[in-house]
Structure 1
């Protein structure tokens, strides 16, 4: 790649890192950019995954205030994400991607619609007592496992799926958005290890774009923490639907 190409990759990585923290799905702008800059689809996919990893870490740092009092929940959810990400990585290495690619846009669209109707579900499912004392529903762990299996396998729009299921289960969109970044970071770490060992990573692109992704993730988290709940929900749902349409067109 030329110096100009590397600058373009870094700029898009900065934007993608911010999108991942705010709404999820940033990889869906970086991946096609890397392909347009000359990388093959497989090298672009694995390079994109490695580049995105620092952005997730930046998002975790940016959301640190939202994690106060959530240590036990983070440990439980993080263990599920570790198992799911590992399972997804194994699937990536042992199965063809065609069948899974057909399912991806459906998952993203359903997650977006789930988030759109979350206020209605919250009113219908609201339990008495303090939310912080309420136990997380058992179905949430299965949903998080399946979501992170997908994340370990492909990862595009994982944040949209995670914030959708977390939003319904926890009835707190901002907390769900923060937890989404932490779980994405765990899943991305597994992908990083797999791709670094077995994938055709373009390390020159990583050297330039990964720091930009880190900065974008941190700045995006700070922006997301200050957006009121309703506009944040509209932004995430709109972006999620747009991503699903994009994926449907690629199938």
Structure 2
């Protein structure tokens, strides 16, 4: 989107410059010359690719088609998730995974269609594939690693959207999983973006993986000499009144040790 806005801004500046220059007789001839040079440079086929040659204008059209494809895909994906997947009653994790798979599949297939419409011989892309392979070997290992890690998280699903996890010293709820990174919302309501490889290279505690029910141990200190029965009853009452605490199994209070504080 930023690239598209930059292109539009550049076109507006060029149009404004040409319009203003044609208002004056002294600059009108230079304006016509610039327009002619610009037109020739845009439509002249100068970039060989396979058996075809393409102009700068052709590449602008290709960029516009790809940007339109990505924008359309995001719109359709949001409608699919908000209108159809929500009505199925599936869990949030399944809905997000389905929408994400649809998003990237649609972009992949749409890109092939756009390239065919652009009259591009796909066999000529083998050159770019070779260059990309060299790039991955030289400097894109990190991006490739995160991409593969994202695919593993999406399809193997060791973590899902909505899970409460603990990783790299952070505890929070998984809000979003993409092919490059995962967003976690901590208990302090802070969004943390973690690379996907972090979930495969380090130990991850998923409190919601097999069951949404988890038991938490919360240490509570009381003054020495307190009535333990009253303390027990108060703690159980507070726990039972919390909306996220289940009645079965019921909360329990233990007194493993008493420490005298001077």
State if a TM-score over 0.5 links the two structures.
Answer: no
Query: Which structure is higher in helix share?
Result: 1
Query: Which structure is higher in strand share?
Result: 2
Higher relative CO (CA 8 A, sep ≥ 6), structure 1 or 2? 1
TM-score tier by shorter-chain length is: under 0.3
Which structure has the larger Rg? 2
